[in-house]
Amino acid sequence: GENVEQHPSTLSVQEGDSAVIKCTYSDSASNYFPWYKQELGKGPQLIIDIRSNVGEKKDQRIAVTLNKTAKHFSLHITETQPEDSAVYFCVNDYKLSFGAGTTVTVRA
């Protein structure tokens, strides 16, 4: 979507390594930043979200950081596993804009 830019578009990591995906947004009124994971043949599923009053949130191997001043937020996956291979999308709650997606491949 035009309101959020996502990088990189593809990411290949060795199993056990970390993966980082970054998104930047333009609307300063945004205050909710979810991340979705989409596996082949399925709809996107929420994996983690963060609100603007929080700078970081963790859920086991997944973490999200938010920098409102710089207008960017990032997804961090640690100790990657083969089942982490999927397409990941960041979302800007302004007009519910999805990023273009990052295809993550975890090499065994």
Partner 1 sequence: ETGVTQSPTHLIKTRGQQVTLRCSSQSGHNTVSWYQQALGQGPQFIFQYYREEENGRGNFPPRFSGLQFPNYSSELNVNALELDDSALYLCASSLTVDNSPLHFGNGTRLTVT
Q: Look up residue 31 and give its amino acid.
A: N
Which of 31, 71, 37 minimizes the C-alpha distance to 51? 31
* Stretch binding partner 1 (CB under 8 A), from 14-22, 27-35, 57-65, 68-76: 27-35
Q: 3-class DSSP state for residue 83?
A: helix
Nearer Cβ to partner 1, position 31 or 78? 31
Instruction: Figure out which of the listed residues 31, 57, 68, 105 binds partner 1, where binding follows CB under 8 A.
Output: 31
Q: Does residue 27 bind partner 1 (CB under 8 A)?
A: no
Nearer Cβ to partner 1, position 6 or 80? 6
CB 14 within 8 A of CB 108: no
Summarize as ranges the residues that interact with partner 1 (CB under 8 A): 1, 6, 31-32, 34, 36, 41-46, 49, 51, 89, 91, 93, 95-101
